[in-house]
Chain A
Amino acid sequence: MWTLRVDNLEKTYDDGATWANNGISLSVQSGEVFGLLGPNGAGKSTLVKQIIGLLMPSNGSITLGDVDLVTDPDYARQLCSYLPQAPMPITAFKVREAIDIAGMIRGGSRPEVQKRRDQLIEILQLEEWRDTLGTNLSGGVKRLVGFAMAVVEPAPIVILDEPTNDVDPLRRRLLWQVVRDLGERGSGVILVTHNVLEAEKSVDRLAIIDEGKLIAEGTPSSLKNDDRGSLRLQLMLPPGSRTPPLPSYIGENVRVGNNVVGVIPETYAAEGIAWAQGLMTEGIADEYALGATTLEDVYVRLTGERSATT
């Protein structure tokens, strides 16, 4: 078993004037799926690039087991495989070729890589594109091929940046199955995403980063602890309308587009429903929904309007 430890990591630009990462500390165990969440520009990519040896930290340390990844970036690249958010450069590759070469560059032997490639093609249901050139693939299939390239020869740390972008719902499930399998094989998986609901279902633990700082870390349920005994009241307002005055029992709230989402104590559920129905009757709201709080509520509460607008 090994642990990736990021300790008090700092990354500054412009001679220290701009902080991309500000004292981030976290750890990822082997076998764990760890979510890294945060709005655009929060510092997630900067953190990842320091782990894989593309950026030099201004301060702090990154270790995997006994290996100092900062002082040995060549080893860091061997120990961490990476699926970037950008499309993979596989336009002229057949699907099987792209996966094979990626696996062999990652140190796999040809027979092992080919066996695992066939398994991935089958699990991700990519058989019909096996010999198709990348230029003829849809965005979602290309994404899955990129994912297969990152995991065909599993590294101790696998970093996946928005792996499900453009992927259809069925294959998303298949992809998450492979991610869980990676954990069982011993890899620590870092999932970088904006998709909080998907992360909630897929990760063991997660960290939320905002403006370069780690603002929360824990399991999805521990992060929702503060909201226990609360409900989520969502009002859908007509486009362009103002947010109506909110009753005092609605605590933290945020407006995202035409939706106002607030947290209310369970004991105020009946009042909340009556109030929302009243707004609908008066034409102030189009719809409302009352339900259990989600990780997304926690995320929006913690990152505030910045994430609501990105």
Chain B
Amino acid sequence: MTLSGTTLPAKRFGVSHWFAMFAQLFKWNVLTLRLALPVLIMVQLFTGVGMVLGFSLLFGDINEVAVLYLATGATVVALVTVGIVVGPQFIAQERLQGTYEWSQSLPAPRTAAAAAWTALNVTIAVPGALGALAAARFRFDASLVITPLVIPAVLLVLLSGTLIGYAYAHTVSDPQTVGLISQILIFVIFGFSPIAFPATNLPGWFAAVHRWLPFQSMGDVVRAGLTNGIVTTTTRAFVVLSVWTMLAALVSTWAIGRRP
């Protein structure tokens, strides 16, 4: 922006401006986390690998189907925990440190900021997911298959997890409440969601609730992309997950665009 002295600089907009801002904000995000990024990636890697190896220690010998549930479930957990739990905690920290408003005052499209945030989450989450799959393959000789479905499945899981986290982190202005929500979510995801086990293991009412929550669908679509025969149909799971993603995108758009 150059000041000519007589006229105001023209408004910057359009696709090239959006991508330029996306690139700068992604760089900004990476550099902001430069000191923590290697640790975060390692933690995600340990989460994915540790879940596969740890659960197998807990349950001893597990059958082939259980191995596949564990491998794909650990992959999903690794994919979503950054966006849905860790990311919101960073945003809450920004609010606590008083830097949130400065971030919001930057002259970049809010959608570019959200996209840069999503890209960062993908960077952190993917190594953990790959680690979980590798651990299952080498430890249990899991008969994983990679189908084309895995690409939309993984992308949708990453996007939905990140946007759900982004939505509540920007909607709830109290950092402590954001921290509390993230703790509840990690508790629900790890222990009480049919991600690494079949929904039939849950009480009927709870399984019915999970039909409408995103977590079971996250497990189903990724499992359908990485296994043969376990998941018979994915239409409903893709629809549920798409609806959650769109809702989270709408709430995010409202939250980052609102002016109280």
| Number of chain A residues whose Cβ lies closer than 8 Å to a Cβ of chain B | 49
- Pick the 8 closest A-B CB pairs, nearest first: A86-B98, A56-B259, A92-B34, A107-B1, A78-B107, A186-B3, A89-B99, A77-B107
A56 to B28, CA, bound (A): 27
Q: Give Cα A145–Cα B103 distance, bound, in whole angstroms.
A: 16
- A40 to B11 alpha-carbon distance, docked (Å): 34
Q: Contact check, A156 vs B3: say whether CB atoms are below 8 A apart.
A: yes
Q: Which of B25, B32, B36 has the most CB of A within 10 A?
A: B32
Q: Does A91 lie at the interface of the complex (its beta carbon under 8 Å from any beta carbon of B)?
A: yes
**Helix, strand, loop or mixed for chain B's interface?**
loop
B6 and A105 within 8 A (CB): no
Is B198 at the interface (CB under 8 A from chain A)? no
Tell me which residues from 1 to 20 in chain B have a Cβ below 8 Å from any Cβ of chain A. Answer: 1-9, 11-13, 20
Contact B24 A105 (CB under 8 A): yes
Binary contact readout A1-14 vs B (1 if CB under 8 angstroms, 0 otherwise): 11000000000000
Q: Does A54 lie at the interface of the complex (its beta carbon under 8 Å from any beta carbon of B)?
A: yes
Assess whether A156 is in contact with B6, with CB atoms less than 8 Å apart.
no
CB within 8 Å of B: which of A37-93? 49, 52-56, 64-67, 72-75, 77-82, 84-89, 91-93
* A167 located at the interface, meaning its Cβ lies under 8 Å from any Cβ of chain B in the complex: no
Q: Which chain A residue shows the least CB distance to B93?
A: A89
A230 to B21, CA, bound (A): 56
Q: Mark B97-109, 1 if CB is under 8 A from A, else 0.
A: 1110111111111
Interface centre among B4, B34, B103, B107 (most CB of A within 10 A): B107
Query: Of A1, A30, A49, A107, which is in contact with the most chain B CB atoms at under 10 Å from its CB?
Result: A107
**Chain A residue contacts of B4, Cβ below 8 A:** 186
Please indicate the chain A residues that have their CB under 8 angstroms from the CB of B103 in the complex.
Answer: 89
Interface residues on B, range: 35 or more
B104 touches A78 (CB 8 A): no
- Contact indicator per residue, chain A 84-106, by CB within 8 Å of chain B (1) or not (0): 11111101110001000100111
Q: CB within 8 Å of A: which residues of B?
A: 1-9, 11-13, 20-21, 24-25, 27-28, 31-36, 94, 97-99, 101-109, 259-260
Q: Does A140 contact B (CB under 8 A)?
A: no
Partner of B31, one of A52, A64, A93: A93
A135 at the interface (CB under 8 A from B): yes
Tell yes or no: A193 within 8 A of B by CB. no
Q: Are A155 and B101 in contact (CB under 8 A)?
A: no
Given A101-B28, A105-B108, are A79 and B5 also a contact pair (CB < 8 Å)?
no
Residues of B within 8 A of A97 (CB): 31
Say if the beta carbon of A108 comes within 8 Å of chain B: yes
A187 contacts the other chain (CB 8 A): yes
Assess whether A262 is interfacial by the CB under 8 Å rule. no
Most buried by A among B1, B25, B104: B1
Residues of A within 8 A of B31 (CB): 92-93, 97, 101
> How far, in angstroms, from A186 to B24 measured CA to CA in the complex?
26
Q: Is the CB of A87 within 8 A of B98?
A: yes
Query: Given A86-B99, A105-B21, A107-B107, are A187 and B3 neighbors across the interface (CB < 8 Å)?
Result: yes
A155 CB to closest chain B CB (Å) equals: 6
Measured between alpha carbons, how far is A52 from B105 in the docked complex, in Å? 7
**B6: A residues at CB distance < 8 A:** 1
Among B3, B28, B107, B109, contact of A185 (Cβ-Cβ < 8 Å): B3
From A84, A101, A107, give the contact of B9 (CB < 8 A): A107
B107 neighbours in A (Cβ, 8 Å): 74, 77-78, 81, 105-107
